[in-house]
Chain A
């Protein structure tokens, strides 16, 4: 296969304790650390390993959003991607718009495999890969924990509620990654220097002929319901009594 496309979304780092803004109009993002969506790092790592095994020749990373996402794309280049594309969009794109943008890039670049994260940890949508596969008319192998290629198809092990499901998909296809697919490599300093010379192209969403969708709109944000403060007990005997008193056992 020739080209693999990997989606990198810029999101609030997973270690940040996200808070709702006091005016209820959104999430506190001022001064908050931003990172590559953790599932997307796994997606990129997988693409790089496929290339390193000689099963693909080029890995392209793409991010759709504000110019700030250049940072995440540079990190992707430092990890080993060959080049990066930033699709500029003033508003945060919804999953269907994102899927249409990715499809436009697939057609422009001639992509053989798309690897995305299974979900972006900001909105926890878990949709984009499935939508892209639908409008591309190609297979989707979601929640992947293992990928193996043989000729024109791939065998993918998926993490499903019942355990592990194995499916076979014809190429080209969309794969979305679960956490156990691999462990992403660390970026080394010399790679960061090298990455500065790698191409990072910018393109406006409108130039790809994609119009943002009329979409689900956010009305208000609130913190989750708090649980009442619990009690600390001294020993197992006390726990047994407490559980029996509550009628739980």
Chain B
């Protein structure tokens, strides 16, 4: 029987949806018990939310005043101290999980598996490589715990229909003081979170200025969508980095993705492979984005986008 530990991701007392998606992945492993660990300074509300997630058997609450911020160097030794008896330890492949899980694995002297997109067995998984240009089936060694990140765009969050038991733990771990949190600088936005929004509107280099990028926000706000950007648009300073979609940005799976003035480089496409419907607006009929778009419109975005916004207002 598999015994799985999931590391919850949360911030400011709110669980990140990535946690319920990790649970969904773990639940694909047959005959598994699923525990979720919440490392926080004071995790009461988070623990409550996690306990309500379907398929979760137990929530392990680790309250500790070093856990105010999710620093990998601080959390990893605590995870290792809890790891005994678990056959699998999963975290999300968000920047939180990517930072943490390899550190956990190395402290346990095992390799780590990145971006599980499909479970084929307790030790057999599919994962994307080469920016999603290939999918590899991998087998993890049977005699070691499987430490992995879950590609959250591949999973739908489990419903909140559970009632797991809650336990407190104080793992015996040496917490290093060599890494200190200073601050987070993030643009405040009322738009839906890019990683969970069901509708996303993204703009590319063609937007040509931060000011022009407003037409992306106007369309997004009109339909209640999250807003994204290509790397070129972020590099040029038209949009902040947390909006980047793609291989090195966010991997998303909205029901509708509207790509505006984005050429469709492979590194961008890898971020939207799981989108339900892809719409592309581009003035170049040869743009590679049209090879993956379900609906394409050739034309000038500066005419078409305001027209679309007006039609939907």
Q: How large is the interface on B (under 10, 10 to 19, 20 to 34, 35 or more residues)?
A: 35 or more
- How distant is A30 from chain B, measured CB to nearest CB, in Å? 15
Give the residues in chain B near A249, CB-CB below 8 Å: 199, 223, 256, 312
Q: Per-residue CB proximity of A126-142 to B under 8 Å, as 1/0?
A: 11101111110111111
- Shortest CB distance B43–A (Å): 18
Whether A162 touches B106, Cβ cut-off 8 Å, given contacts A18-B130, A168-B180, is no
Known: A18-B130, A233-B295, A239-B295. A96 touches B178 (CB 8 A): no
**CA of A84 to CA of B217 in the docked complex: distance in angstroms?**
48
B58-99, CB < 8 A from A? 71-73, 76, 94-96, 98-99
Q: Known: A162-B11, A230-B295. Contact between A218 and B136, CB under 8 A?
A: yes
- Is A179 at the interface (CB under 8 A from chain B)? yes
Q: Contact between B186 and A14 (Cβ–Cβ < 8 Å)?
A: no
Tell me the dominant secondary structure on chain B's binding face.
mixed
CB–CB B295/A135 < 8 A: no
Interface set, chain B 109-128, CB cutoff 8 A to A = 109-115, 124, 128
Which of A134, A214, A218, A224 meets B273, CB within 8 Å?
A: A224
Q: Please indicate the chain B residues that have their CB under 8 angstroms from the CB of A239 in the complex.
A: 279, 295, 297, 308
- Min C-beta distance of B183 to chain A, whole Å: 5
**Bound-state Cα–Cα, A196 to B297, Å:** 52
Q: Are A216 and B111 in contact (CB under 8 A)?
A: yes
Known interface pairs A14-B267, A131-B103; A95-B111 also in contact (CB < 8 Å) = yes
Q: Which residues of A contact B (CB under 8 A)?
A: 12, 14, 17-20, 27, 94-96, 99, 118-119, 121-128, 130-135, 137-143, 145, 155, 157-170, 173, 178-180, 213-224, 227-228, 230-237, 239-240, 242-243, 246, 248-249
Closest 4 CB pairs of A and B: A163-B186, A131-B106, A130-B102, A134-B106
Q: Which B residues are closer than 8 A to A by beta carbons?
A: 11, 71-73, 76, 94-96, 98-107, 109-115, 124, 128-141, 144, 176, 178-187, 195, 199, 223, 231, 234-235, 240-242, 247-248, 250, 255-256, 266-267, 273, 276-279, 290, 292-298, 304, 307-308, 311-312
Interchain residue pairs with CB less than 8 A apart (21): A14-B267, A17-B133, A125-B114, A130-B72, A130-B99, A130-B102, A130-B103, A131-B105, A131-B112, A134-B104, A138-B178, A159-B242, A166-B184, A216-B111, A221-B134, A222-B137, A227-B294, A230-B294, A230-B295, A232-B295, A243-B256
